[in-house]
Amino acid sequence: MTDRVVLAYSGGLDTSVAIGWIAERTGAEVVAVAVDVGQGGEDLDVIRQRALACGAVEAEVADARDEFADEYCLPALQAGALYMDRYPLVSAISRPVIVKHLVAAARQHGASVVAHGCTGKGNDQVRFEVGIQSLAPELSCIAPVRDLALTRDKAIEFAQAHELPIETTKNNPFSIDQNVWGRAVETGFLEDIWNAPTKDVYSYTEEPGQSPGPDEVVVAFERGVPVAVDGRRVTVLQAIEELNRRAGAQGVGRIDMVEDRLVGIKSREVYEAPGAIALLTAHEELENVTLERDLARFKRGVSQRWSELVYDGLWFSPLKRALDVFVAESQEHVTGEVRMTLHAGSAVVTGRRSATSLYDFSLATYDSGDTFDQSLAKGFVDIWGLPSKIAAGRDQRATRG
């Protein structure tokens, strides 16, 4: 039986050419697998037919939008995941769900190899291959761009020579990855970090300075899960999609940053994540109301480590799974509503309410009705500061001596 390779297929130039390129250089048959994580664009059946036209012996397409929202975006939201305090892991959280479908396809079709279109200097090669190794240690991986010398120039030449049904122009200078959680743009003139992004970089968001009047939105959560927008019940996917539309119209969620890649280099990335940023903002504020102080403080450290693990391709690692348990437990009382104003590039919280709130008006108020016993404060301050006072006395004695 001829060896088979399962290829993560996007429908673009590189992965379309990779079908024939892999077959020529390895002698294997190629099974193309495309996974819809809300990236929009072409119909999935069109992508499937293109893969077959480019030489795939079989082609599968998977509608994983709800799966992606429920099992990958939601954990990122509940973890408060922002790599380097800014990046909401747009690409990083999509790779594990794609890996899951690639492994399933490899087992179904009897393939021993999984291929992906990543380069040798990016993060995604790690995310794909470590993920595949974690779920199916028996599989091996190849990357045509990295391992089989498939450069973009060669891809264009190959597509033209074999008359493949794929656009072969060099007009688009950017490398773009997108899904329902956001959009990532890099390369081209953006590699000069002094160059400002131009309007054509953006697709999910409008220019913040040209946004319409303010848009007020109320998001309801139950145990950390967004369940309603302005009183209308929604799935997680629907919540993200609606806030992508409404926050995107206000220019919310634009991020231009130089980040630390796993491979050790710095990279300039431009992201758009209107729905993600709006939801993260609302969820964080509801946690401020409902999480006890020490739990909230500890969770901030967990959020950072969780984000680093996912960014570094360790979604399926034991530590990540253990942190997931902590995050899930922390959401027990994160129930309530958050009101935000979306306008001019910002999502600003203007109200919050929760039946599980730890905010006590009678303790917080400075007006009549205050139930906080201020007479206890002096003794508390003296005892709280006692270790510092003792240490200061020691230091003064040492200085005099």
Query: Could you tell me which residues are annotated as the binding site for L-aspartate?
Result: 119, 123-124
Please tell me the distance from the alpha carbon of residue 345 to that of residue 292, in angstroms, as a whole number.
Answer: 31
- Report which DSSP code applies to 196: P
CA–CA separation, 207 and 100 (whole Å): 36
User: From the annotation, which residues make up the binding site?
Assistant: 8-16, 87, 117, 119, 123-124, 127, 175, 259, 271
- In angstroms, the CA 102 to CA 107 distance is 9
Q: Are the C-beta atoms of 330 and 340 separated by less than 8 Å?
A: no
218 - beta bridge partners? Answer: 339
Beta pairing class for 175-179 and 254-260:
unpaired
In DSSP notation, 114-150 reads EE----SSSSHHHHHHHHHHHH-TT-EEE-HHHHS--
| Marked catalytic residue, from 4, 14, 48, 246 | 14
Catalytic residue among 66, 70, 140, 175, which? 175
Confirm whether 95 is a catalytic residue: yes
From the list 65, 95, 254, 352, the catalytic residue is 95
Q: Which helix (H) or strand (E) holds 225?
A: strand 225-229
Q: Which region holds residue 275: left if phi is over 0, alpha if psi is between -120 and 50, else beta?
A: alpha
3-state SS assignment for residue 32: strand
Q: Distance between CA atoms of 34 and 48, rounded to whole angstroms?
A: 8
- Would residue 112 show up in a list of annotated catalytic residues for this protein? no
Strand, coil or helix: what is 176?
Answer: strand
Order of all β-strands in the sheet with 182-186: 175-179, 182-186, 266-272, 254-260
Class of residue 71 by CB neighbours under 10 A (exposed 0-12, middle 13-18, buried 19+): middle
Indicate the DSSP class of residue 199.
G
Going by C-alpha positions, the residue among 281, 216, 208 that lies closest to residue 250 is: 208
Question: Of 50, 124, 246, 268, which one is the catalytic site residue?
Answer: 124
Neighbours of 157 (CB within 10 A): 13
Q: Is 14 marked active-site?
A: yes
Binding residues for L-citrulline: 87, 123, 127, 175, 259, 271
Catalytic positions, please? 14, 95, 124, 175
